[in-house]
Amino acid sequence: MAATRRQKAVIIGAGIVGAASAYFLAKAGFEVRVVEAAAPASAASGAADGAVSVASKRPGPLMEAAIEGVETYRQLHASGLLEGLFRQRSTFMLAQDEDEDEVLAAHAAALAASGVEIRQHGTKALHSVVSNLASGVRSAVEVRGEGHAIGYEIVNRLLVASGATVMRGCHVHDINPADRSRSIDLLHTTAGKIEADVVVLAAGGGSASLLGLEGVLRPRKGQLLVTERAPSLNAGLPGSLMSCRYLMSKDSTEARMTQTGRRFGLVIDPLRTGQFLIGGTREETDDRGTDAGAARLLLREAVALVPRLGELRLLRSFAGVRTATVDGRPLIGRAPAFDNVIVATGFEGDGICLGPLTGRIVAALASGHAVPIDLAPFDPGRFGARRQAA
C-alpha cells in the first residue's frame, strides 16, 4: 500500500473522519473519492457539541490520542486551514460536592501525569476567574490549551481543501470481494462499481454491517440544547464548563443514571456566536428524536451551575447518534482480512477531537509511513468478527 503517484483511495463516509482522511490522503498524493450514503456531515459529525478536548478522556490510550488530537488541530490552525473555525480555550471541570472533589482530584493527577497543562482553582479563585457560577460550585480543574470546533464546518473545510470527488447519496453495499481475495479492487455501490487501490472505511454506525461488527459497534444518542445569544454572559465564561458528572457518565456507572435510565453529563459551551450549547445525554438508541424530559434535565443541571442561564430563551434542541464500541475504544488501523482496507470508526463522543488526527493516521498507513500514536489499543482485529479474521 505504498503511496505511489495517483493511487486511487476510496473513502466510505463523509463525516469528520472521512473528510480528514480525504484531506491527508490528497496531501500524500492519492487521487481521492469519498462515497457518502447521504450528505457530508449528515450523521454524528453534524450533530455534535465540538469539544476538542483532553479534559474528559479516560487516562490511558484515549487520553494519549486526545493530546495528539488537540495538537493536530493546533497545527492545522497554525497552517491557516482552520482559520475562523477552531477556537482555542480552556475547559473548566467543576466539582459540586465531596464525591466530585475526589473524582476531580484523581482525574487532575492523571491529566498532569500525561503532561497536560492544568490549573487547580479553589472556591475563591474559581469565582474570580469564571463569572456567574452558582455559589455551590466548590472547585475546578482548568485544562488549558484546548478548543472548540463545529463538526460540519470542519468537514466542509477539509473536503474543499482536499479537492476530493464527493459522491453524495451513494451507498456502499458490501466490502467483501466476490472471489474472497485479500484485496478490494472494486466497491459495489448504488452508483455502480468504483475502482480502488486503497479503501478507507469511515462510515460511523454504517461500518457495523460492512465489517460484521453489529454486536461490537453500538448507537449511543445524545441530545443537545442551544440558547439565544447572550454576549455579556458568554464573555464571562473563559472556556467550557464541564460538570464532574460528565466523567461519571462516560464511565457508564449505573449510579449516575437518572431514574429513567438516562445517562448524561453536563457541558456548557460558550459559542463564538454568543450563544450557549448545553449537552448532553447518553442514550442506548439510534432514534434521533428529542424530548422535553431530556431538555428539562439538561436545563435544570445547567441552571444549577450557572443560574443566569435560566434568563435565556432556548432556541432549539437536536440529537445525534454516536457510534460506540463495547470496550470504549475506537477502531483505527488495517482490517486484518484485507491488504488494502483501513478502518476508522467507533469514536463515540470523541470523534470531533480525534477526526483530524485519524486522517493523519490513515494517510500514514496508506503511504507506509510511521503513525503518530501507538495503534495497538485501537486494533480493528481485536474483536475477531467474521470479516475481521485474517
Q: List % helix, strand, coil for the chain (3-state, nearest 5).
A: 35, 25, 40
Q: Provide the 3-class DSSP secondary structure of residue 350.
A: helix
How far apart are CB 175 and ligand FAD at their closest, in Å?
A: 9
Cβ proximity to ligand FAD: between 44 and 141 the closer is 44
Cβ proximity to ligand FAD: between 6 and 297 the closer is 297
Cβ proximity to ligand FAD: between 142 and 283 the closer is 283
Query: Among residues 25, 31, 365, 37, which one has the least CA distance to residue 15?
Result: 37
Q: Contact positions toward ligand FAD, by CB under 6 A?
A: 12-18, 35-38, 42-45, 47-51, 151, 171-172, 202-204, 206, 210, 222, 224, 279-280, 320-322, 345, 347-353, 355
How far apart are CB 269 and ligand FAD at their closest, in Å?
A: 8
Q: Which helix (H) or strand (E) holds 226?
A: strand 217-227
How far apart are CB 152 and ligand FAD at their closest, in Å?
A: 9
Cβ proximity to ligand FAD: between 12 and 213 the closer is 12
For residues 386 and 390, give the distance between their C-alpha atoms in angstroms, rounded to a whole number: 9
Cβ proximity to ligand FAD: between 13 and 270 the closer is 13
Cβ proximity to ligand FAD: between 3 and 203 the closer is 203
Cβ proximity to ligand FAD: between 267 and 309 the closer is 267
How far apart are CB 52 and ligand FAD at their closest, in Å?
A: 7
How far apart are CB 348 and ligand FAD at their closest, in Å?
A: 6
How far apart are CB 203 and ligand FAD at their closest, in Å?
A: 4
Q: Provide the 3-class DSSP secondary structure of residue 228.
A: coil
How far apart are CB 125 and ligand FAD at their closest, in Å?
A: 26
Q: What are phi and psi of 287, to 5 degrees?
A: -75, 130
How far apart are CB 190 and ligand FAD at their closest, in Å?
A: 8
- Extract the runs of DSSP E, i.e. beta strands, from 105-216: 118-121, 139-148, 165-167, 172-174, 186-189, 192-195, 198-201
Residues 6+ apart with CB under 8 A from 200: 9, 10, 11, 12, 18, 21, 25, 341, 342, 344, 362, 366
Cβ proximity to ligand FAD: between 230 and 242 the closer is 242
Chain centroid, CA 268 distance in Å: 17
Query: Among residues 314, 222, 299, which one has the least CA distance to residue 268?
Result: 299
Cell 493516521 -> residue: 361
Cβ proximity to ligand FAD: between 226 and 257 the closer is 226
How far apart are CB 361 and ligand FAD at their closest, in Å?
A: 13
Query: Among residues 356, 353, 360, 362, which one has the least CA distance to residue 332?
Result: 362
Chain centroid, CA 281 distance in Å: 15
10 Å Cβ neighbour count for 128? Answer: 9
